[in-house]
Structure 1
């Protein structure tokens, strides 16, 4: 085999492995919702929603989540928040979708709605 054929074979194997490791466009469960980065994304979602809607929700925790690769990473998180209405210690769940482009250090809140 010549060098070009070997290179193409290795490149194909690397691309095949990468596509199997991170399926593009398909939601996959986040196994550790206490991961500091996942928590930071959840806090960003609540903070951004507060700023946009002039509300005063307080982040409590990330309850569950999924992510998918789409020109960055899209996170679909269920976050527990305290709205100050339900009383101290009580929380409500919201679904937040955040699109992150980590290489640009950019996050965008695309959806934030109560879980019914």
Structure 2
């Protein structure tokens, strides 16, 4: 129970930082570090989780094709900010995904299309 309360508080703070950063960009509020190996198994697991959760909530059938860019930030776990390329039928589209990943669970915080690529 204590861990759940702590995780909820951490996610709330992270969401607030990301929302504030939407106007001033989160880079000034969160120390993002580039991911060196975008083919790392954990990076792909996080990206696939993001697409799966989006598909469940939006009732779509996107398929992950590539992780084009990625950054992480440590905050009571690891937060991943990924630029993904997905297939939507025959179309290739780009989405930004932000996933909070701890040892116990993952939470999709954001999955939005990247403007100009839709």
The answer to whether the aligner puts 1:57 opposite 2:62 as a matched pair is yes
Where do 1:1-116 residues align within 5 Å? 25-84=30-89, 87=90, 90-102=91-103, 104=104, 106-116=105-115
Name the CA distance, whole Å, in 2 between partners of 1:42 and 1:61: 9
Distance 1:45 1:91 in 2: 17
TM-score of the two chains, using structure 1 as the length reference: 0.71
User: 5+ residue gaps in structure 1?
Assistant: 1-24
The alignment yields a C-alpha RMSD, in angstroms, of 0.9
**Cα deviation per residue 1:47-101 (whole Å; 9 max; x = unaligned)?**
01000111111111111100000111000000110011xx2xx411100000001
TM-score normalised over the length of structure 2? 0.70
Larger Rg: 1
5+ unaligned residues in a row in structure 2: which ranges?
1-29
